[in-house]
Structure 1
């Protein structure tokens, strides 16, 4: 235990906590007006986020000391349980609809998103499976295919909510784990081709998805409808300038920018804090990316390597997708900014995943730290 504590990557821990605390400040700033209008309490969203942050810290510490071998053994059960929750989301008795999507589950008054939960369980499952089956990668059906069948079920359930953004992100994470595991190049090419074709089919299958893609390429053609959110994000970013307008002084959050405290919180950060806000956010994510990759290089066996890389990619690719949407470099997907956007499920699950990554860091040889 003492050796584990010495080996823990405290730089990584610091970057995670910086993002969480910074997120609390920005959730308060970006949601105060909305909270006052909707709930007659300016601290409504902040108080809820703070509660989930405290809960997240508890599971973060637990995750640091949990047995990774036990997680590997339990991963099929955890994935199966999560699939059951994803199916319950689709039922009128338990599923909650918000913004024309049924992604939330209400169990005894506790509301959460199973699609966020299953990401970490799939990372554990994929990492454990491909580490164990590496000697059999030449046999596609035995060494590669089984987790893909499970992934297809999970992605289908998420698409039925519907949630193309989360489904795409999960496919991306699992695909990267397969790539890092050393699966044969011909299999990677085949799976990549199938995934690309499926993505195109999913993107054009629903009119609202085509509208998002169309607004991505033609943002200013309909600024009152499909382009409204992104145009107001542009305004928020542009008015922030180099130094920003000061913490709490965003204009766009006063009803102009939809989802100012959730998916588009980065636009408010730039408007209020300018380059300083960008440096804090991008710098912290860069630290997580660098430390995560270094941890993966320093640990053995392959299961630990894949687990570290999978969680690192989960955090950083989600950040890239969100930042790309806010700046107009990628289509809007509804994916939150890790550790920063308002959302209890996302924050707690990210802290669980981060705790596991820190757990892996504690298993590095002492001389490599």
Structure 2
């Protein structure tokens, strides 16, 4: 049974995961060695830490590929409670750790954990489980749609207190994607979309620092040495990269000019060093993940598996789009990392675990050509 499941894994996703993370390790080193040498007298400081997280992520990635995905449906209520507890812990002085004017981390001995990364996955599991079970009442807003949205609202507000509108909005989008794919009525979707959009706009314009980011995103050259400094230097990195780039390791902007060159803005360094060709390779990898994720969801007969696969796929692709949008100036800067590539242990491990779960789901796909017609009809009716 186990050998048969292993044979059914989507090995193309395994390969793309390892290639992207390997590429990310290379670019973390390239984009951080100068800053690491200046601040830590060790050019491999960030690379070594990211490599350790990669090994941890690879361990949990392998485990996730073998753990039956249905267990996450049973655990989802507990995971939601854990999510709320962790978000409250982050805001408690002495437990939460502040960096760059944001309190988003919990220090657990030598480990610095960012709970929001875990919660992205936990909320996808919870929403997929709830709406898979509520298909009979999916047209009833109060009983079949509303309950998890209340939990989502609490999670959203707690993350906003950190403050982290980028991650809060990303979780909101991923969960709403699951709601859309679950079969909710169009008028309910329109209402939820309107409320969600209004909420994001409200919280964006009622905070002075978020308004500054929006203004700098619209015209970064109005304050090139202040609020627009990061985006202007990102433009310079992208503009000097050309088609083929300046060569691996030859970025100038990473030498203290571009803030967060190895985290949020690592794509600007990639383009500066590898050119448009590097951008095309990275985007192609994400498109491939999106294609395979959607295909896996379509081929699954189990409703929970479908929604979980869609949620995981959309969350990764949406995060990549938001990051690339910020780096290119098409979207405001939100502090969202580039999946698999940016420096950050929590993000790397959870993204690898998410792909591991998606690969596990791929082993449960049904080959409809080999299923007798009457049996196939019974399976669809049961779902």
Structure 1 unaligned regions, length at least 5:
none
Give the secondary-structure state (helix, strand or coil) at the position aligned to 1:104: strand
- Cross-structure match for 2:215: 214
Is the 2:301–2:366 Cα contact (8 Å) retained in structure 1? no
Residues of 1 paired with 2:142 and 2:130: CA distance? 13
Q: 1:138 Cα shift? A: 2.0
- Cross-structure match for 2:350: 349
Residues of 1 paired with 2:232 and 2:271: CA distance? 15
Measured against aligned partners, the alpha-carbon deviations of 1:117-138 in whole angstroms (never above 9, x if no partner) come to 0010100110011011011012
- Cross-structure match for 2:174: 173
Residues of 1 paired with 2:16 and 2:224: CA distance? 37
Residues of 2 paired with 1:13 and 1:108: CA distance? 32
Residues of 2 paired with 1:190 and 1:3: CA distance? 45
- Cross-structure match for 1:74: 75
Give the secondary-structure state (helix, strand or coil) at the position aligned to 1:41: coil
Is the 1:86–1:157 Cα contact (8 Å) retained in structure 2? yes
Instruction: Determine if the alignment matches structure 1 residue 268 to structure 2 residue 274.
Output: no
Is the 1:16–1:284 Cα contact (8 Å) retained in structure 2? no
Q: Which structure 1 residue ranges, 4+ long, deviate > 2 Å from structure 2?
A: 365-369
- Cross-structure match for 2:336: 335
Residues of 1 paired with 2:188 and 2:368: CA distance? 37
Residues of 2 paired with 1:41 and 1:158: CA distance? 34
Question: 1:176-325 to 2 correspondence within 5 Å?
Answer: 176-325=177-326
Measured against aligned partners, the alpha-carbon deviations of 1:65-123 in whole angstroms (never above 9, x if no partner) come to 11222110111101211210111000111111111000011123321100110010100
Give the secondary-structure state (helix, strand or coil) at the position aligned to 2:162: coil
Residues of 1 paired with 2:99 and 2:256: CA distance? 19
Residues of 1 paired with 2:150 and 2:368: CA distance? 41
Residues of 2 paired with 1:365 and 1:179: CA distance? 23
Q: 1:368 Cα shift? A: 7.0
- Cross-structure match for 2:360: 359
Q: 1:16 Cα shift? A: 1.3
Residues of 2 paired with 1:368 and 1:177: CA distance? 28
Q: 1:366 Cα shift? A: 4.7
Residues of 1 paired with 2:115 and 2:35: CA distance? 26
Give the secondary-structure state (helix, strand or coil) at the position aligned to 1:259: coil
Residues of 1 paired with 2:76 and 2:261: CA distance? 35
Give the secondary-structure state (helix, strand or coil) at the position aligned to 1:96: strand
Q: 1:367 Cα shift? A: 6.5
- Give RMSD over aligned pairs: 1.1
Distance 1:368 1:280, change over 3 A: farther
Q: 1:9 Cα shift? A: 0.8
Residues of 2 paired with 1:244 and 1:108: CA distance? 41
Q: TM-score, normalised by structure 2?
A: 0.95
Give the secondary-structure state (helix, strand or coil) at the position aligned to 1:248: coil
Q: 1:197 Cα shift? A: 1.1
Give the secondary-structure state (helix, strand or coil) at the position aligned to 1:332: coil
Instruction: Determine if the alignment matches structure 1 residue 49 to structure 2 residue 50.
Output: yes
Q: 1:276 Cα shift? A: 2.5
Measured against aligned partners, the alpha-carbon deviations of 1:5-35 in whole angstroms (never above 9, x if no partner) come to 1111111111111110000000000000010
Is the 2:237–2:268 Cα contact (8 Å) retained in structure 1? yes
Figure out how many residues of one structure are paired with residues of the other and give that number. Answer: 369
- Cross-structure match for 2:14: 13
Is the 1:18–1:284 Cα contact (8 Å) retained in structure 2? no
Worse-superposed segment, 22-31 or 136-145? 136-145
Measured against aligned partners, the alpha-carbon deviations of 1:201-249 in whole angstroms (never above 9, x if no partner) come to 1001210000011111111111010110000000000101111000000
Give the secondary-structure state (helix, strand or coil) at the position aligned to 2:275: helix
- Cross-structure match for 1:150: 151
Q: TM-score, normalised by structure 1?
A: 0.98
Give the secondary-structure state (helix, strand or coil) at the position aligned to 2:92: coil
Give the secondary-structure state (helix, strand or coil) at the position aligned to 2:261: coil
Residues of 2 paired with 1:311 and 1:20: CA distance? 17
- Cross-structure match for 1:130: 131
Residues of 2 paired with 1:304 and 1:196: CA distance? 28
Give the secondary-structure state (helix, strand or coil) at the position aligned to 2:70: helix
Give the secondary-structure state (helix, strand or coil) at the position aligned to 2:105: strand
Give the secondary-structure state (helix, strand or coil) at the position aligned to 1:173: helix
- Cross-structure match for 2:97: 96
